[in-house]
Structure 1
Amino acid sequence: MRPFYLLFTILILAGNLLPGALFGQGQKSPHISIQVVGMQPGKAYLIGLFEGQQFRADSARADAEGRMLFQRDEPYEAGLYYVWLPDKMAIQILIDKDQEFVLKSRTGALASAMEVEGSLENELLYRNLKFEEQYSAEAMELSERLQKLAPETPEYLEAKAKLDDWVARRRAHLEELFTQYPNAFFTKYKKAGQNPDVREVFKEDGALDTALQVYYYRRDFWQDVDFSDPRLLRTPVITNKLQRYVKELTIQHPDSINAAAKFLVDQVLDYPEYYKYFVNWIALQYQPTKSTLMDSEAVFVFMVQNYFTRERAFWSDSLQTWAIQKRAEEMAASLVGKQAPDVRAQGPDGKYHSIYEIEAPYI
């Protein structure tokens, strides 16, 4: 790719991944009071997420008693935020419409000792974090033990039964929260992050059909994501799922990637923020010279010609769209497996001949 086109394309695509208006409009100004007992004083930062990128939304000074206040005129955009503390530790908070609440904890037990006042979203978040903190070590130990044991041995079956019990308890814990608070932002966030069940499907000979398992798993991967809710783009869940879906669950071959991209992007044609993010992210991942995939140009061309069009790329002006379409058109003629453009030259007989008319091994 010529340097000018490479730079121009990166600027077009990467520029569209940056957050635009980071601050929403609401009724009240935020007033988020946090205290972490035992923490050293200093500067704390409120770090937001937008389409996989972090940005500093605000900062506050923590006093000698670990108190800090995040307050300003404009409300924060709804999403998951991290509060980076002066001692290099961090706490998570969910911010939605109600931005007046109090959090209190202590060093050494940030999640397990967290007390929440005035925020249902963060009450649910920390109820879940406390559960995970209490039982995740047990699950990790069981998983490591299973990897070392021979399948179907008594020790293996015992460890697997315990792990299955943990998975069931975790699922029951989440389902209880989801059922009790179906409209909470926390519920949308956690549901979106859940993996689908692995189906047990078998071939005619009774053997497990792993290929069909992967197909169903990939097909169901996005079923719990509410694409009508743009708040999820300001959490890590969408980017994490997108990376896993494209890079891990999809065979890294242009045809497979294009099919997976079409399946996903076609689901968000009516959801502009997701459409814009998915199209740009996938195109950038397979930007020529930026990917080690053989014939990554085929993915780039597919995304540009099908989705980065004048009718669909609402975030791009006509000149940008024309430039990237022009580049994709040039690249399309030289993709792997495609017949190269014809070259015609004048021969000794004075006539013009096509390169495809030449059958000799050399000229």
Structure 2
Amino acid sequence: MKNYLPTKCFLILMGVLMLSIAVTGQEGYRVTVKINGNSDTALLLTCYYGSKIKLVDTATLVSKGTFVFEGKSQLPGGIYMAVTPDKKKLFEFLIGKNQVFKLETDTVDYAVHMKTKGSDENQVFYDYLKFNELNYQQNKVIMTRLKEVEDSTIRYKELRDQLDSLNKRSIGYKMEVIANHPDLFVSTLFNAMRDVEVPDSVLHGSDSSQAFKYYKRHYWDHFDLSDSSLLRTPLIVNKLDQYFERAVFLHPDSVVVAIDDVISRVRPSYEMVSYLVWHFMSEYQNPKYMGFDNIFVHLVDQYFSKEAIQNTSPSVLTMLTDRVNVIRPLLLGKQAPNLILVDTSGQLRSLYTLRHAYNLVLFWDYDCGICKREIADLEKIYNQKTYDLEIFSVCVNGDLDKWKKSIGDRHMPWINVNGTRSATPDFHDLYDIHGTPVIYLLDQEMKIIAKRISADQIPGLIDNMAQTKK
């Protein structure tokens, strides 16, 4: 009789080894969701992506109230949501390292009645949500009682102390989770939610600026910008907005330094770099404040032109580069492009021949109602002779007779030229003109002081310039 025992043992051993590999090296995800009382035939899986919501997967009904989300590749970590086909969010849950688990709840209270199986991540998360719900209900009761008592009473102080105690309890709960579960994404999430705590010694010190410096220096201490899982939470956009509102001076140079610092903190995460570059692009491609187009130029020069950024096709890159090449010569502090145009006498007049302390370039249309009002305001400023100011007025229309008549009708006593009769390149391209009126204010050296301003802003701008020169 042949000895088959070693072979049988070997096969059993291989089976155990294969099972071990299958369990420990499992790829993909499988999230089973059971919602008692739910009558939908499908369920959507979505996640946060910055300020947006992204569709990830769709599951059809497996059995009554049960759905399975399944895929061959693992999902990136973050906060995900179960959503009905009519886009109603039912509940949130976390995706971390272990992506094979079950969630069971009901339609009475999705969070409070949630049961998890196979996911420490979501067990800890839902334990916190249940704790937080109790805290919230207690908070509501105290807030109602506060409205019924006078501010200066002992009872009011007692109630305020109870609120503080609830807040400290909530913070303590999250800190305990962070300490006990450092490897879970829920701890990353709770850390990211922490505010900067400025020490009393700094807050009440003799140098008031130290509190601001401390706040800025420690702002990102607990928010791991290199963890792309935080992209799939609602925290990232609020955290960025708060930083640029509270910790960055409202000046383009300061904003550029802050942007570069934040992006350096997310490396080597390619996804986070790409997200942030596009986030800042959306903020500054049409800036709210004059001079902040410098940030748009910086983003294209420093990032889009030097490295691969997600969702940037060759045509998009060309469009961005072309736009920057138009804007770059028109940044504040740059010498304005020269214009050599025909005046009302038929002679060529050069912008660069002006020798005044302040030189204003006006682009206007004789059929434009707003232009008419701006010209009236400019006339008042010009005739007051308060400033050493000359106006180089460029009409965008080609009908010379109508142009000259409009000059007389509007009482325009300055240099008037026609943009359609030019010895220099098209003014539309040189000065990025797509509508009227447009005003550029230049100094004696033809450097751009201000642009795309209204006439009533001019006195204040010139007065401020005069003050800074003293």
TM-score of the aligned structures, taking structure 1 as reference length: 0.75
CA contact 2:96–2:184 (8 Å) conserved in 1: no
Separation in 2, partners of 1:264, 1:194? 18
- Between stretches 64-73 and 172-181, larger displacement belongs to 64-73
**Partner of residue 324 from structure 1, selected from 317, 320, 326:** 320
Separation in 1, partners of 2:229, 2:127? 21
Superposition deviation, residue 79 in structure 1: 2.4
> Residue in 1 aligned with 2:393?
none
- Alpha-carbon distance change, 169 to 71 in structure 1, aligned in 2, over 3 angstroms: same
Superposition deviation, residue 157 in structure 1: 3.4
CA contact 1:60–1:68 (8 Å) conserved in 2: yes
> Residue in 2 aligned with 1:163?
163
Q: Percent identity?
A: 25
Separation in 2, partners of 1:223, 1:235? 18
Separation in 2, partners of 1:202, 1:148? 34
Separation in 2, partners of 1:253, 1:27? 50
Separation in 2, partners of 1:41, 1:352? 73
Partner SS for 2:161 = helix
Relative contact order higher in (CA < 8 Å, ≥ 6 apart): 1
**Partner of residue 343 from structure 1, selected from 325, 338, 345:** 338
Superposition deviation, residue 233 in structure 1: 2.1
What count of residue pairs does the alignment treat as equivalent?
A: 330
Superposition deviation, residue 111 in structure 1: 0.9
Equivalent position amino acid for 2:262 in 1? L
Alignment of 1:135-284 (within 5 A): 135-139=135-139, 154-200=154-200, 201-202=203-204, 204=206, 209=208, 212-247=210-245, 250=248, 252-284=250-282
Separation in 2, partners of 1:323, 1:90? 41
Deviations 1:249-301 (A, max 9, x none): 6565534533432332232344332222112201211212xx44444423322
- Alpha-carbon distance change, 350 to 232 in structure 1, aligned in 2, over 3 angstroms: closer
> Residue in 2 aligned with 1:96?
96
Superposition deviation, residue 179 in structure 1: 1.2
Superposition deviation, residue 43 in structure 1: 1.9
**Structure showing the higher strand proportion among its residues:** 2
Give unmatched runs, 5+ long, in structure 1. 1-25
CA contact 1:51–1:233 (8 Å) conserved in 2: yes
| 1:301 has 2:297 as partner | yes
Separation in 1, partners of 2:268, 2:57? 32
CA contact 1:40–1:64 (8 Å) conserved in 2: no
Partner SS for 1:354 = helix
- Alpha-carbon distance change, 80 to 329 in structure 1, aligned in 2, over 3 angstroms: same
- Between stretches 52-61 and 337-346, larger displacement belongs to 337-346
- Between stretches 84-93 and 32-41, larger displacement belongs to 84-93
CA contact 2:226–2:265 (8 Å) conserved in 1: no
Give unmatched runs, 5+ long, in structure 2. 1-24, 358-388, 391-413, 416-470
CA contact 2:46–2:56 (8 Å) conserved in 1: yes
Alignment of 1:106-145 (within 5 A): 106-139=106-139
- Alpha-carbon distance change, 319 to 62 in structure 1, aligned in 2, over 3 angstroms: closer
Partner SS for 1:225 = coil
Deviations 1:69-123 (A, max 9, x none): 2234443333221001468341112123322211111222211111111111111
- Alpha-carbon distance change, 271 to 103 in structure 1, aligned in 2, over 3 angstroms: closer
Superposition deviation, residue 247 in structure 1: 4.9
Equivalent position amino acid for 1:239 in 2? V
> Residue in 2 aligned with 1:79?
78
- Alpha-carbon distance change, 67 to 27 in structure 1, aligned in 2, over 3 angstroms: same
Alignment of 1:64-75 (within 5 A): 65-75=64-74
- Between stretches 134-143 and 65-74, larger displacement belongs to 134-143
Superposition deviation, residue 355 in structure 1: 4.0
Separation in 2, partners of 1:297, 1:150? 52
Superposition deviation, residue 358 in structure 1: 4.8
- Alpha-carbon distance change, 40 to 355 in structure 1, aligned in 2, over 3 angstroms: farther
Separation in 2, partners of 1:252, 1:145? 42
Aligned-residue RMSD, C-alpha? 3.6
Equivalent position amino acid for 1:127 in 2? D
Report which of the two structures shows the higher radius of gyration computed on alpha carbons. 2
TM-score of the aligned structures, taking structure 2 as reference length: 0.60
Separation in 2, partners of 1:124, 1:298? 46
- Between stretches 151-160 and 295-304, larger displacement belongs to 151-160
Equivalent position amino acid for 1:53 in 2? K
Partner SS for 1:93 = strand
CA contact 1:40–1:86 (8 Å) conserved in 2: no
Partner SS for 1:357 = coil
Separation in 2, partners of 1:303, 1:92? 35
CA contact 1:84–1:90 (8 Å) conserved in 2: yes
